[in-house]
Chain A
Amino acid sequence: MAQSQGWVRRYAKAFCKGFFVAVPVAVTFLDRVACVARVEGASMQPSLNPGGSQSSDVVLLNHWKVRNFEVQRGDIVSLVSPKNPEQKIIKRVIALEGDIVKTMGHKNRYVKVPRGHIWVEGDHHGHSFDSNSFGPLSPQCGTAQLLCPKDLDGIFVLVGLEMITAAI
């Protein structure tokens, strides 16, 4: 009787120990270093989701790269949507603070990006809910930078380990 009780206690102890090591480390890794996400929508065609609704790209979000909120023009980033805080949007950074942007469909023709903000646009102009709709954005609304897309069926298709640079 005492033998089986001792076994259960030891098992519970080991489980708790492992749980309190594995869960915080995994959560911290996914929050701070990198995690995986699926891209939905057509606003970044042809860079992401070129196949439309048939296949969704799966991408690696690199949190570590943007831990100081330093993004470059041409980076593809993932942000919290300013219209709906429960949703994340994936767009390309077009302009940084201080730049003057010629907008497409915004109420002002030319916009100067204020301090601490960035201007993002989807690659598929006209089908994208981006800064042309909501104006310049604060990058600290949860950013992560896309690193490399891989195919849905698990084969890693590395489109170069470099950032997908914009042809500005």
Chain B
Amino acid sequence: MLRGVLGKTFRLVGYTIQYGCIAHCAFEYVGGVVMCSGPSMEPTIQNSDIVFAENLSRHFYGIQRGDIVIAKSPSDPKSNICKRVIGLEGDKILTSSPSDFFKSHNYVPTGHVWLEGDNLQNSTDSRYYGPIPYGLIRGRIFFKIWPLSDFGFLRDSPNGHRFSDD
């Protein structure tokens, strides 16, 4: 009786470890489902939307301008941020607001990216803490699965003027 229970427990633990490892490999190297919170990416991603993120682009260094990425927050190691990539290394970023008379530019250093939320008025992003290293990027969001009314691939940035690099 005891041997049966012990055997069953070991089998359960073994399966848990095996599936846990498979889940880790899937989330780390392939992709996973993410729930976003916060208003900084409206209207593209609303609060408590569920999206699908893939990690293959990060490993193959295929992140491009205009991609929405999940990255580790530079000020808090345990939380993640979800923003759009405005500039890659070497790009010239317009840091002054469009209403300013004197325009100021910043160059994105090597190995870094410049992130901005779509909701420019309500987003703490690279305009606040500067460009972040590429190593902080965790994955690329490309598909929204909830709410069902907004099911599908994600739209382009509503702030198209931010991408000009002259």
Contact surface of A with B, Cβ cutoff 8 Å: 20-21, 23-25, 27-29, 31-32, 68-69, 79-86, 114-117, 137-142
Q: Name the B residues within 8 Å of A115 (CB-CB).
A: 75-76
17 sampled A-B residue pairs with Cβ under 8 A: A20-B18, A24-B25, A27-B24, A28-B25, A68-B78, A79-B135, A80-B133, A82-B111, A84-B111, A85-B134, A115-B76, A116-B76, A138-B72, A138-B133, A139-B77, A140-B72, A140-B136
Interface residue B61 (Cβ < 8 Å from any Cβ of A): yes
Q: Name the B residues within 8 Å of A28 (CB-CB).
A: 20-21, 24-25
Q: Name 4 extra pairs, CB < 8 A, besides A21-B18, A24-B21, A24-B25.
A: A20-B22, A82-B133, A84-B110, A140-B136
B67-102 vs A, CB cutoff 8 Å, 1 = contact: the mask equals 000001111111000000000000000000000000
Q: How far is the CA of A21 from the CA of B18 in the complex (A)?
A: 6
Contact surface of B with A, Cβ cutoff 8 Å: 17-18, 20-22, 24-25, 28-29, 61, 72-78, 109-112, 132-136
Interface residues of A: mostly helix, strand, loop or mixed?
Answer: loop
Q: How far is the CA of A68 from the CA of B77 in the complex (A)?
A: 8
Q: Name the B residues within 8 Å of A139 (CB-CB).
A: 77
B136 touches A25 (CB 8 A): no
Q: How far is the CA of A114 from the CA of B132 in the complex (A)?
A: 14
State how many angstroms separate the Cβ of A87 from the closest Cβ of chain B. 9
B136 touches A138 (CB 8 A): yes
Q: Who on chain B is nearest to A70 by CB?
A: B77
